Structure 1
């Protein structure tokens, strides 16, 4: 097969690797608009469960990546000035550029061609091809060209966020919610290498306006957030990488393929960063698409199989991500109305996928503290 992939992110790279490893005769080219050493953001995060999925599907890649990961066994919720550690939630992280660099080397050793600095905006540019994969992110040009055929919808959510980093190496994935006169500021922060952490700040639209972020320049915005999160940063600066305030687009496509063109990763659907599953979903898309081609006789059958088998498990995570983003849209009210323990419990159960029994299994101490506030749960399972 001649396979043309647009986008050298985890989804496109991993699909290329799986296909080429299975059949070296495939001619696979990946087109990436950015230079080889360019990337946005700072770190990406994997839950222990995500790594279990990767190990089950691809022990070779799991062993290749894990020596480069930072790991920790818990998360921490900070309710203004009260820290609530929550056990039973292991995570790992890696710098986004480091992850991509590792994957570039991995696919090139297999014989996949990488073309950087190339704009592949239309299907016509990629002909002739047996399969065209749109793996070029939430604002995919390949998807936009056939948006009506894909049944694309984009729901722009109201919260604002900005993706920064810091030199403070945090010891766990931490969600810090600080009260200010303008509203609650939330920081999602975690270490992705020994001397660096991601430091993503999220606020509601109302807080963003009251704080004047619509008027503040990049440096002034960083200084303001350094003041708000001074107890957490402990003198370390916030670092920008062309960081800009953004709103989150909840992307969905009713149909995943049009002819021989298929979408994977964020081009197919976006999952809010608060559940830490974007990279996992991208790589699981690649596995599902590969298995469909491995098991089916032709392109139409494989693409139909891909959507049929991948949709149910992916939709569960997508629904959870949307429940999580709505929880953050109500964070000001939740911080004001709940105690630190209740707030941490609300965070853990926000998607509907974790019930009280699961909280008790993961962190008996948090469950017991919550039961003291809600005795009716003490005898439950």
Structure 2
């Protein structure tokens, strides 16, 4: 089968590898508009559960990637100067470019061609393919030019965020919330190498407006954020990589394919970064699409229908949880003012409804006990 994949991110790369390993006769080409060494952002993070899924599906790839990851067993919620460590929440992270570089080598060793600095702008350019995969990210033109066929919905959320990095190396995945005269600033930060950390800054839209970020230069924006998080950065700089203020698009498609065209990864649906599952979902998409073809052979339409059938139930659960999570951040100013640090950390842990009091107690008995002291009624409910 001739397979052409638009976008060489985790979804497209992994699907290509799975298909080629299964049947070396497949002719597979990935088209990536960027240079080989170029990428946006800094690190990507996986929960322990996400890595368990990867290991179950592909032990070899798990063993290939994990030596290049930074790991830690806990999560830290910080409200101003009060830190609440939360046990039972393991994570691992690696540099986005490092992961992609490893994946490039992985697929090329299998005989798959990656055409870098090659921008496909029309499906006509790849019309000779038996299968066309749109794996070109949240702003996929494959999807946007065929929204009616895919049944696309896009909900732009109000919060503003900026994806930065820093040379400050943090001990754990942390969420730091700092109150200022203009509003609450949240930093999502974690190390992804021995010398670097991701440092994503998020604010409510009203805070963004009050500060006047719209009219501020990139340099002044960095200086402002460095001042807000001065105690947390310990003199280390905030580093930009084409960083700019964004709003999150919550994207969903009722139909995942038409004819011989299918979407994967962020092109298919976006999951808010607060649940740390974007890369996991992309790679699980690849596994599900591969399994559909393994089951249906080279019957493209049957395989694409099977892909949605297999993948929809587990993916929808995570997507729904991600959307609840992102809305939690949209009222973070109110929560910081109204809740004690313990209540705030507990609210964070239970925000999606997938973690109840018994699960909090299992993961972190100390947090559960501290919350029970403030809210003894929760013991009766549990």
> Given that residues 157 and 250 in structure 1 are in contact (C-alpha distance below 8 angstroms), is that contact kept between their aligned partners in structure 2?
yes
What's the counterpart of residue 316 of structure 1?
Answer: 317
Assess if the C-alpha contact under 8 Å between 1:122 and 1:145 holds in 2: no
1:175 aligns with 2:187: no
Cα offsets for 1:144-169 (capped at 9, x unmatched): 22111001111110000000000000
**Aligned equivalents of 2:356, 2:126: Cα separation in 1:** 48
Match of 1:6 in 2: 6
Structure 1 gaps, min length 5: none
Give the equivalent residue in structure 1 for 2:21: 21
Q: Which residue of 2 aligns with 1:241?
A: 241
Identify the residue that residue 289 of structure 1 maps to in structure 2.
Answer: 289
Give the equivalent residue in structure 1 for 2:328. Answer: 327
- Residues 16 and 112 of structure 1 are in contact (CA less than 8 Å); yes or no, is this contact kept in structure 2? yes
Q: Confirm whether residue 123 of structure 1 aligns to residue 123 of structure 2.
A: yes
Where 1:352 maps in the other structure, the secondary structure is coil
Q: How far apart, in 1, do the equivalents of 2:62 and 2:119 lie?
A: 31
Checking the alignment, whether the CA contact within 8 Å between 1:138 and 1:269 is kept in structure 2 is: yes
CA distance in structure 2 between the aligned counterparts of 1:123 and 1:24, rounded to whole angstroms = 25
TM normalised by structure 2 equals 0.99
What is the alpha-carbon distance in structure 1 between the residues aligned to residue 88 and residue 193 of structure 2?
A: 22
Secondary structure of the structure 1 residue equivalent to 2:252? strand
Aligned counterparts of 1:271 and 1:140: Cα–Cα separation in 2: 15
CA distance in structure 2 between the aligned counterparts of 1:376 and 1:248, rounded to whole angstroms:
37
SS in 2 for 1:160: strand
Q: Take 1:216 and 1:51, find their aligned partners in 2: how far apart are those partners?
A: 40
Distance 1:246 1:267 in 2: 17
Matches of residues 210-249 of structure 1 in structure 2 within 5 Å? 210-249=210-249
Alignment of 1:179-198 (within 5 A): 179-198=179-198
Match of 2:160 in 1: 160
> Which whole-Å CA distance do the structure 2 matches of 1:375 and 1:280 have between them?
37
- Conserved in 2, the CA contact under 8 Å of 1:78 and 1:174? yes
Please state if 1:108 is matched with 2:108: yes
- Counterpart contact for 1:188–1:200, Cα < 8 Å: yes
Cα distance in 1 for residues equivalent to 2:291 and 2:168: 41
CA distance in 2, matches of 1:367, 1:60: 38
- How far apart are residue 309 of structure 1 and its match? 1.0
How far apart, in 2, do the equivalents of 1:207 and 1:26 lie? 52
Distance 1:353 1:130 in 2: 40
For the 8 Å contact 1:342–1:370, the answer to whether it is kept is yes
SS in 2 for 1:333: helix
CA distance in 2, matches of 1:335, 1:296: 52
Q: In 2, Cα distance between the equivalents of 1:147 and 1:258?
A: 11
The answer (yes or no) to whether the contact 1:161–1:203 under 8 Å persists in 2 is yes
* CA-CA distance at 1:379 after TM superposition: 4.6
| Equivalent position of 1:361 in the other structure | 362
**What is the TM-score of this pair, normalised by structure 1?**
0.99
In 2, are the aligned partners of 1:4 and 1:28 still within 8 Å (CA)?
yes
Question: Within 2, Cα distance between the matches of 1:210 and 1:343?
Answer: 24
Q: After TM superposition, give the deviation of residue 380 of structure 1 in Å.
A: 4.9
Deviation at 1:378, TM superposition (A): 2.6
Counterpart of 2:39?
39
1:328-352 Cα distance to aligned partner (Å, 9 max, x none): 0000000000000000000001111
| SS of equivalent residue, structure 2 residue 235 | coil
Give unmatched runs, 5+ long, in structure 2: none
Cα deviation code 1:165-214 (max 9, x no counterpart):
00000010000000000000000000000010000000011000111111
Instruction: Count matched residues.
Output: 381
Report deviation, 1:69. 0.3
- Provide the residue aligned with 1:52 in structure 2: 52
Q: Distance in 2 between matches of 1:199 and 1:148?
A: 37
Matched ranges for 1:294-313 at <5 A: 294-297=294-297, 298-313=299-314
Aligned partners of 1:240, 1:284: CA distance in 2, in Å? 30
Match of 2:266 in 1: 266
Structure 1 consecutive aligned stretches of length 4 or more whose deviation exceeds 4 Å:
none
Deviation readout 1:37-89 (Å, 9 max, x if unpaired): 10000000000000000000000000000100000000000011110000000
Tell whether 2:330 aligns with 1:350.
Answer: no
**What do residues 312-364 of structure 1 show as CA deviations (whole Å, max 9, x unaligned)?**
00000000000000000000000000000000000001111111110001000
Is contact 1:15–1:287 with CA below 8 Å preserved after alignment? yes
